[in-house]
Structure formats: C-alpha cells, structure tokens
C-alpha cells in the first residue's frame, strides 16, 4: 500500500494521541532561562520552545497541503521541493505532497543559492516550499528560476514579496483527504545524493521503497506505540526520516529536537521520555565527553526508559561503543548501513543481538540481499575485499534524467552497486573497508582510509580524524591524516608518529595535519572539501617526500 495510508490509519485509530513534538532549546537560551524553569510555566501559555501535534492534526494538515497543490494543477509526476529546517510543519508538508500524487523533493539546507537552483532544475521542480532561514538564498535566484516553477510557498511570518504565504493559503483549503488513487508503484520522492563525491544526483523512489523502509526499520528495532523516537538529524535526508518510519508504522510519537548540544539531547530524552535515539558518531562522542567531564550528571535526569541507541551514516569505532556501554550498560546498540539509493538505512544492519561484532556493519537487513564483488562484478571469496552490492524493494528506480549513471550502479536484475569496499568475515558479518573512490594507492599498495581512521581513533586525545590521499611524485599517492584534537588535550606530529608504530609501515600516514574535520549534516566526512582545501599544499608535500 502507499505510505500515505499509514498516516490515515494512525489518524483514524489514534487521532487524539500526540504524533509529533518540536523542541527548540535555542529559544530558552535567548531568554536566559533553563529547561527546568520552563517546565514550571503554565501549560496554557503559548511558547515557541515546545509545540506538539496529534495524529488527527497531522493528517488534516497534510490534506490541506495536498488540496492546495491540486488548486495549482499539481498532479502525478509533478515535483514539489522542500527547503525547510526541521520543524513541526515539515512532515505534514511532505505527506501532503505525496497525497496530491506529486513527488516530494527534499533539499539540503546547506545548499548555496546556485546549488538550490541546480537541484530545482535537475529535478524539474514545479513548486518550492521554503522557510525563513532561506529567504536570502531564494531571493538571490528567484528571477533565474526555470519557467516551470509555478509557485514559491513561504512557511513562516513576514512573507517576502516574491513568495506566497503557505499558512494563509492552506487556511482556505479543505482538511479532507483528496480523492487521489495511489499504488505501490507510483513515484513518491526524489532524494539527492549527499554530494560528497561531487554534484548531487537525483534519486527516484516509488511508494514501494518508502513502505519497505517502514517495515525494515520496525522489524530491526521493534518499535511499538509506547516508544518515543528522538529525531535530531535533518529530515531532508533519508537517514532521519526512514528511522522514524519504524515508529510511524505503529503510531509511536516522535520528538524533533532542534539542536545537537549534549545537554539538550539528554534533557530531551529525560523530559519527553524518549526510548529510541539515533545518533551520529560525533554527537555520541560529545555526549560521552560531557559526561566524563562532569558537565552532564546522569543522576539529574530520568533515563531509565531509554532502551536503544543506534548509529548510522558512517563507520562506528568499536572504542566508542565500549565507552558508551560502560556508561549506559543497559542500552541496546545497533548500527545500520544504507545510502539514499537504497532508501536510507537498513540494507545492512548489525542487530541488537550482535553487539559482540561491533565494528562490522552487520548482515543483510530484513528483506535485503547482499554480495561482495570484484571489478567485473563477480562474487569474491569470503574474506576478500570487493565492492558491496545490495538488492531489495528499497532500491531506487533510477537517477533522474541520468541513464548513464544509472547503468553504472544498477544492474538489470536489480542489484545496486554501492561504491563501498567491504569484506565478509568467516562468520558472515560484513565490514566496511572504504569508499571505492577514496582508496589510496601508494607504491602499488591499496590503502583503505577507514582502517587507518579506526586505528587513530583509539588515541584518547583524538576527537575526529579523516585520512585522504595526496599526490606524490615517487609513490603516486600518500596518506594524509587530518586530526581534530579533543578540547583540553594536546598532540604533536611526533606523538602521532609514535602512536602509529603499531600500524604496518605502508599504512602509516605520511602527513599529519591538525585541523577541524568537516562533516555534512548526515555525519559523513566531506573528503572532497579536504582534498580541495589541502590541494595548495601538494607541491610542498611532494618536495618533502622527495627529500626522505
């Protein structure tokens, strides 16, 4: 069935129950008050710190959005862009687009004006919905947008002159469901690749993919109506939304937290009685560091109900989970692997019962198949490194308007070749080695940056690390480690070189750079940015290497 049926079922069965909560701790900071002081405020007082929405309200808002789009001749095959920060209106707008029969096209909130224009043109977007944070960026390109863009809907107060007020428009629209017949095979959404390897590609998914994500997530983590899911990552990306889909499927509540400070996360878990939390590696590290520094005192919070912490979007250092379990021994832990082309997380999943295999990304997820292949796409023997391929109902249909790139990654029989290098252990667990394009070839040897990064993260003074390849006249490439040091710690190049003596000589980084490690909103290291940033140093690096 189409995913919109779930929303209507939840509204019918649990209409008065809370579906979504939005929390904006930054509002408290503006007023120099604390979370606890806020909790003493009269419940009837209107406040921008916390707002909520029932399932019935959720469904009605989605219906109004759908009916608004229908008045603008939006139909099946039309595309509607969403450029919003996480907020209470995000998901009703998304589902309203789907209910109209159109395709939702979420956009990265970090896009520059030209990147926004590029994506709108690439996806043939007909209507764009945007929020107050993007007024300047949209104004910069509004006179250069394609003619097919029929409308700009503004979600916020003080609507700019070049747009129409979303809130005013939907107030005149019916809250009844539009009579649009949808099937599993109807097109539902276009998601953009993360852009870590260049310009993003437009990834097409059908309703079948979205439904598959719902079932997979719920099967993996056993959400019930009693669970409360804490959502922190951006909703434009498949990761956050598809993890929430497991709660959505069973009518469980979700909390949208607008901020990533460790104390905000712990406070939200405590105050909202959250049971399931999905974190990125840096956020988990920051929480542990804050606890160990005494900035967060766990005795001050109600955390007994928190049952599951899971991480995705990047390889997870085993040392991090060891630290986490030492502080939260009763937590279940899981990690999930996926990509936007496979409708986000779940194609490979560790499983809460397999915490003894921390370091692996896991085994094929529910309803998924996996294999590891050589450059000719023949399966490699277990234990050999090859490219990971996945197959299941969550695989994309195509890259929109890009048959060449589609053919490069998608086989005729439905296998998606991920571009990630992996190997399978003797007991059947898959370990991620690196991105195919990130492999460093130095003196004829293949270096897998993730392996070096995992080793360096064992150093307790290192907060984050990225390893990239830089050109070298003698070896072809050398490994360079960009190292972000924890606050109140110090490291020197000599310290790192001594620490790396336990690595095989050919795996040791030839350059050490102490700097911040940039990550995109979904936690992936932005290695192209690092390559560009340190490209000016390449000649110096070559000269240094030649003198050795």
> Edge-to-edge strands of the sheet including 228-231?
50-54, 18-23, 253-257, 228-231, 276-279, 308-312, 332-339, 344-349, 363-364
Do 426 and 444 fall into the same domain?
Answer: no
CA nearest 369: which of 407, 405, 418? 418
Q: Indicate the range of 258-267, 269-278, 466-475 predicted with least confidence.
A: 466-475
358 located within any domain = no
CATH number at residue 60: 3.40.50.12780
Q: What is the pLDDT of residues 148-168, one digit of tens each?
A: 899 999 999 999 999 999 999
Are 419 and 282 part of one and the same domain? Answer: no
Percent of the chain whose pLDDT exceeds 70:
90
Instruction: Check whether 43 has a pLDDT greater than 60.
Output: no
Q: Is the pLDDT of residue 524 over 90?
A: no
In a domain, 195, yes or no: yes
**83 and 159: one domain?**
yes
Q: Is the pLDDT of residue 140 over 70?
A: yes
> Using N-to-C axis directions, what is the helix angle for 207-221 and 238-250, rounded to 10°?
70
Extended beta strands in 111-180, E state = 127-130, 151-154, 164-165
In-domain check, residue 297:
yes
Q: Is the pLDDT of residue 48 over 80?
A: no
Handedness of CA 358, 363, 364, 366 (dihedral sign): negative
CATH assignment at residue 521: 3.30.300.30
Domain stops at, among 403, 435, 467: 435
State yes or no: pLDDT of 523 exceeds 80: no
CB 351 within 8 A of CB 429: no
Which has more confidence, 420 or 265?
265
The pLDDT of residue 331:
95
Question: Does any domain span residue 331?
Answer: no
> What is the spatial order of strands in the sheet that 398-399 belongs to?
164-165, 151-154, 127-130, 79-83, 103-106, 187-192, 202-206, 398-399
Is residue 16 in a domain? yes
Q: Which of 272, 306, 340 is the last residue of a domain?
A: 306
Q: Is 536 helix (H, G, I), strand (E, B) or coil?
A: helix
538 versus 53: the higher-pLDDT residue is 53
Q: Which of 284, 306, 328 is the last residue of a domain?
A: 306
Instruction: Tell me how far CA of residue 197 lies from CA of 131, 193, 344, 528, in angstroms.
Output: 28, 9, 17, 7
CA atoms lying within 13 Å on the CB side of residue 309: 26
Strand partners for 129:
82, 153
Asked if residue 419 and residue 466 are part of one domain, the reply reads: no
148 and 252 in a single domain? The answer is yes
Res 46: pLDDT:
46
8 found inside a domain:
yes
Domain check: are 16 and 105 in the same one?
A: yes
pLDDT digits (tens, 9 = 90+) for 209-265: 999 999 999 999 999 999 999 999 889 988 788 999 999 999 999 999 999 999 999
223-255 in b/e burial notation, b at 16+ Cβ within 10 A?
beeebbbbbbbbbbbbbbbbbbbbbbbbbbbbb
127-139, pLDDT tens digit by residue?
999 999 999 999 9
Residues 206 and 186 both lie in one domain: yes
Of the pLDDT bands very low, low, confident and very high (cuts 50, 70, 90), residue 109 is: confident
User: Mean pLDDT across the stretch 289-315?
Assistant: 90
Express each pLDDT in 297-308 by its tens digit: 999 999 999 999
With 0-12 / 13-18 / 19 or more C-beta atoms within 10 angstroms meaning exposed / middle / buried, residue 405 is: middle
Amino acid 42: pLDDT? 52
Position 539 confidence tier, pLDDT thresholds 50, 70, 90: very low
Q: Are residues 122 and 255 in the same domain?
A: yes
Angle made by CA atoms 203, 133, 188, in degrees to the nearest 5: 25
Say if residue 125 is in the same domain as residue 270: yes
Whether residue 297 is found in the same domain as residue 429 = no
Q: Give the domain extent around 425.
A: 363-435
Q: Report the pLDDT value the prediction gives residue 89, as an integer from 0 to 100.
A: 96
Per-residue buried b or exposed e for 57-83, using 16+ beta carbons within 10 Å of the residue's own CB? bbbbbbbbbbbbbbebebeeebbbbbb
Question: According to the model, what pLDDT value does residue 420 have?
Answer: 86
* 275/339: higher pLDDT: 275
Q: What is the CA radius of gyration of the chain?
A: 24
Give the residue among 210, 230, 186, 176 at the shortest CA–CA distance from 6. 210
Indicate if the pLDDT at residue 337 is higher than 60. Answer: yes
Report which of residues 449 and 199 the model is more confident about: 449
41 & 56 share domain: yes
User: How many Cβ atoms from other residues are within 10 Å of residue 316's Cβ?
Assistant: 26
Count of structural domains within the chain: 3
Residues 408 and 450 in one domain: no
The stretch 189-218 carries a mean pLDDT of: 86
The mean predicted confidence, pLDDT, of the chain is 89
CA–CA separation, 40 vs 359, rounded Å?
A: 44
- Round to whole Å and give the CA distance between 265 and 20: 17
CB 29 within 8 A of CB 40: no
Distance, in Å, from the CA atom of 167 to the CA atom of 516, rounded to the nearest integer, reads 41
Determine the Cα–Cα distance for residues 507 and 430; give it in Å rounded to an integer: 22
Within-domain flag for 343: no
CATH of the domain at 414: 2.30.38.10
| Terminal-to-terminal C-alpha distance of the chain | 64
Residue 138 in contact with residue 166, Cβ under 8 Å? no
């Amino acid at each position: 069935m189409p995913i919109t049926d779930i929303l209507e079922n939840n509204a019918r069965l649990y209409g008065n129950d809370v579906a979504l909560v939005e929390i904006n701790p930054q509002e408290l900071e503006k007023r120099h008050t604390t979370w606890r002081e806020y909790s003493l405020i009269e419940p009837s007082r209107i406040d921008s710190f916390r707002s909520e929405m029932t399932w019935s309200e959720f469904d009605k808002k989605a219906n109004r959005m759908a009916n608004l789009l229908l008045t603008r001749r939006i139909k099946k095959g039309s595309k509607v862009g969403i450029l919003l920060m996480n907020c209470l209106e995000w998901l009703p707008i998304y589902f309203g687009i789907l209910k109209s029969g159109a395709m939702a096209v979420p956009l990265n909130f970090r896009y520059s004006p030209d990147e926004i224009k590029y994506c709108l043109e690439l996806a043939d977007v007909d209507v764009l919905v945007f929020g107050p944070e993007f007024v300047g960026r949209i104004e910069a390109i509004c006179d250069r947008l394609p003619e097919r863009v029929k409308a700009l809907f503004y979600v916020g107060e003080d609507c700019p002159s070049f747009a129409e007020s979303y809130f005013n428009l939907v107030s005149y629209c019916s809250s009844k469901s539009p009579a649009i017949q949808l099937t599993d095979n109807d097109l539902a959404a276009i998601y953009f690749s993360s852009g870590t390897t260049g310009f993003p590609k437009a990834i097409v998914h059908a309703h079948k993919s979205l439904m598959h994500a719902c079932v997979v997530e719920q099967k993996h983590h056993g959400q019930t109506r009693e669970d409360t899911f804490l959502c922190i990552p951006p909703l434009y990306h498949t990761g956050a939304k598809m993890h929430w889909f497991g709660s959505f499927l069973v009518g469980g509540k979700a909390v949208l937290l607008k901020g990533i400070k460790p104390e905000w996360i712990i406070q939200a878990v405590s105050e909202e009685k959250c049971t399931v939390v999905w974190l990125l590696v840096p956020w988990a590290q920051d929480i542990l560091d804050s606890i160990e520094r005494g900035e967060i005192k766990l005795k001050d919070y109600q955390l007994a109900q928190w049952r599951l912490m899971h991480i995705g979007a990047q390889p997870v250092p085993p040392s991090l989970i060891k630290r986490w379990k030492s502080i939260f021994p009763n937590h279940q832990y899981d990690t999930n692997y996926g990509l936007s082309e496979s409708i986000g997380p779940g194609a490979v999943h560790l499983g809460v019962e397999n915490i003894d295999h921390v370091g692996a990304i896991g085994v094929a997820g529910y309803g998924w198949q996996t294999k590891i292949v050589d450059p000719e796409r023949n399966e490699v023997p277990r234990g050999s490194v090859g490219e990971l391929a996945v197959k299941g109902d969550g695989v994309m249909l195509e890259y929109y308007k890009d048959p060449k790139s589609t053919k490069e990654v998608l086989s005729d029989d439905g296998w998606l070749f991920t571009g990630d290098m992996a190997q399978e252990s003797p007991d059947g667990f898959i370990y991620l080695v690196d991105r195919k394009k990130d492999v460093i070839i130095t003196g004829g040897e293949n270096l897998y940056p993730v392996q070096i990064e995992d080793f360096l993260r064992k150093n307790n003074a290192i907060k984050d690390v990225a390893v990239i390849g830089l050109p070298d006249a003698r070896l072809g490439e050398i490994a360079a480690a960009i190292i972000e040091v924890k606050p109140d710690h110090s490291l020197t190049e000599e310290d790192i070189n001594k620490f790396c003596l336990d690595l095989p000589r050919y795996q040791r980084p030839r350059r050490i750079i102490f700097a911040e490690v940039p990550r995109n909103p979904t936690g992936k290291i932005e290695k192209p940015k690092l390559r560009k940033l340190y490209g000016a140093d390449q000649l110096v690096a070559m000269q240094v290497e030649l003198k050795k």
